[in-house]
Amino acid sequence: MDFNLSEQELMIQTRARDFANKLAKPRAAEIDRTGKWPSDLASEMAKSGFFGLQLPTEYEGAGAGYKCYALVVEQISRASMAVAAIIAINALGEEAIYRYGNEEHKQKFLKPLAKGEHTVMFAFTEAATGTDPRAITTTAIPSGDSYILNGSKAFSSLAPGAKVAVIFARDETGRVSAFIVDTSSEGFIISKQLETMGLRGSGTCQFSLSNVSVPQENLLGEKGEGYEILLLSINVGQLGICAEAVGTAQSALEMSLDYAGKRPVRGKSMLQLPTIQSYIGEMASRIEAARWLTYRAAAIKDEGKSIRKEVAMAKLVASQTAVDVTSMAMQIHGSYGYTRDLQIERLYRDAKITQLYEVVSEIQRIIVASSLTT
């Protein structure tokens, strides 16, 4: 594997860093405080070409690949994980439609997503069942030339900017299928905007489906193929989360270096204290390990191979790194870090979600172990 970034990758990384520093960073605290969807920043990311980076140019993507996707999410996460997550979560629906949609689906639904005209919700999880396909209760029953969907979904993000949703429901055969649903359909009801500890502003909600009519041609893939669609799509979302974790941890390290470098202790910089140096050395080393696990998974995906094991490893390590590094950064900042006057407490809260969403760390361990024992 070539560990050097290509000219294109460096250019896209620089563009994302500039966006993060000039536009996302000044807004990060406000987005976290209010929890409001940053529609203007979503539009700016669309203008910068950050949506659909991994998609082919024939569908309005950049054709830049999954490593560029990870690079952009990482850079923006250094300023605001909530803003970066718009790209990463949107990639779930994009991947589902790209890999399993027919040509009509790609022309009608994928192209607008790649251009960033709007976002897509990805709805599998249910409040009582989690992501267990055997327990899913949302139903899709044929009626004439449509399916009628009934049920409810939890923890679906990007709601304020979404015009379509990829929804998983149990069809008349008892198997899980995937459907592309217009969010303005009658009976599609956002029931609750969730107040979260971190990643605020990502538009996470619960919604219900009450006799929502969906054209049969909006069936994604084959009937009963829903769980396979979920597994493939979620790997791309997990890759984005790895990048979020790395970017957040990197930001915590940079804040710690800046804070400790400016704060005197007994006439010398905090950075000269062995305890602080130990923290910094540990933080930097673990971030670099997580970064290269993430880049490796992205490179393998760019080769057209499955990354189920590789992204599980990367997410397990990167998410734990984000949690541990932000905790160490909090120790370096002391009581000041516990206040909202400094940004470290936001990073501390944001980091935790990387261990939880799109499959918890405990399941990542099982995925890795299963790949080695079967």
**Catalytic positions, please?**
358
Write the single-letter amino acid at 266.
R
273, burial (CB in 10 Å: exposed 0-12, middle 13-18, buried 19+)? middle
Tokens of 239: 């890759």
3-state secondary structure of 166: strand
Please give the Cα distance from 212 to 214 (Å, whole number).
6
Q: Residue 252 to residues 66, 156, 281: CA-CA distances in angstroms?
A: 25, 28, 13
Strands (E), 194-336: 205-215, 219-220, 264-265, 268-269
CA atoms within 13 A on the CB side of 67: 22
Are 12 and 71 contacting, i.e. CB atoms less than 8 angstroms apart?
Answer: yes
Please give the Cα distance from 35 to 21 (Å, whole number).
20
Q: What is the DSSP letter of 1?
A: -
Beta bridge partners of residue 269, listed in sequence order = 264
In the chain, alpha helices (H):
7-19, 28-34, 39-47, 66-77, 81-100, 103-105, 111-114, 226-262, 274-302, 308-333, 344-353, 361-373
Distance, C-alpha 71 to centroid of its chain = 13
**Cβ of 128: how many Cβ atoms within 10 Å?**
10
Please give the Cα distance from 167 to 145 (Å, whole number).
18
Are 90 and 113 contacting, i.e. CB atoms less than 8 angstroms apart?
Answer: yes
Are 166 and 97 contacting, i.e. CB atoms less than 8 angstroms apart?
Answer: yes
**Cβ of 2: how many Cβ atoms within 10 Å?**
6
Beta bridge partners of residue 309, listed in sequence order = none
